[in-house]
Amino acid sequence: MNELRCEYCFHHCLIREGGVGFCRARTNSGGKNHCGNYGRLTGLAMDPIEKKPLARFHPGSWVLSVGSYGCNLSCPFCQNWQISMADEQSSGYEAVSAEKLADLIMRTPDNLGIAFTYNEPLISFEYILDVAELVKPKGYKIIAVTNGCVEETVLEKLSGVLDAMNIDLKGDRSYYQELGGSYDQVRHTIEYMHDKCHVEITSLIVPGKNDREEWVKEEAKWLASLNPNIPYHLTRYFPNWKYDIPATPKETIWHLKDIAEEYLNDVLTGNMR
C-alpha cells in the first residue's frame, strides 16, 4: 500500500493513498503530501486587527480574514468548531484560488492585508505562501492566527513571509495532552518565530484547567526571557462546544494579569464583557 508519513506537525500521521491525516487537511495524493483544503474557504470577513487579537501591530487597521476547515488539535472549547472540526464533506467550502484571493485583497479598500485564521491556518501553509507571493510585494501584510503546533520545517517556509502572528499558549503539558496538542512544539514555535516577525501570545483562561497562578507565572517568566515586550493576552473563556464549565470570573483575569506583569511589560485582557 502506498503510504506516507506526514512530517508537518507532532502527529506524524501515516496516511494511506487517498486518505487524510488527523487535521483533515493533509492528504496522500499519489504518494505525495498534498494540501487537501488548499483554497477551500469557509469564512471571509473584514475584521479590526485587534480582533485577531493583535494589539500592537498597526492598531486601528482592518484586515481581510479568511479560514478553511480542519485543525490538528481538538480543543473542547473551540468557538469555531463547526469549521475546525469539519472536513471536505461537512464544511460547505467555496474554492478560491490564490489569484482570486489576491485580487480581492488588493481591491478591498483600507485593507492592511490578509489574516489566515478561524481554523488552523498552518496546516495549509502552501496556500499562505502562494497568496503572499502575489500580495506581499504590493505592501500587504501577511498574518497567521495559529495554535503553533507545527514542525520547524513549516516555520522555515513561513519565516520572512509572515509579518505577524498570534500564537496560542493554551496550558501546561498535561493540559495539551487533554487538548490533543503538543506543549513542547508550541513553545518551540514561539521561541523560533518571536524575533522573525511581530508575535503576540494568547492564553484562553479556563477555570480549573489553566488558571493556576504558578502556570501563568512560569509562562510569563519564560516569555520575558525571550523578550519582555512580547504582548501577552489573557482572555476570558465562555462555554462552547463540549465544555459547559462556567465562564471565567473577571477577577481571575485581573489577578493573573497582575502576576504576568511581574515579568512582562505588555499584558492585555480579552473577552471582558
Confidence (pTM)? 0.98
- For position 1, what pLDDT does the model report? 63
Asked whether the predicted pLDDT for residue 89 surpasses 70, the reply is yes
The mean pLDDT of the chain is 98
The model's pLDDT over 213-265, given as tens digits with 9 standing for 90+, comes to 999 999 999 999 999 999 999 999 999 999 999 999 999 999 999 999 999 99
- Strands 198-205 and 232-236 come out as parallel
Domains of the chain: 41-270 (3.20.20.70)
77: confidence class by pLDDT, cuts 50, 70, 90: very high
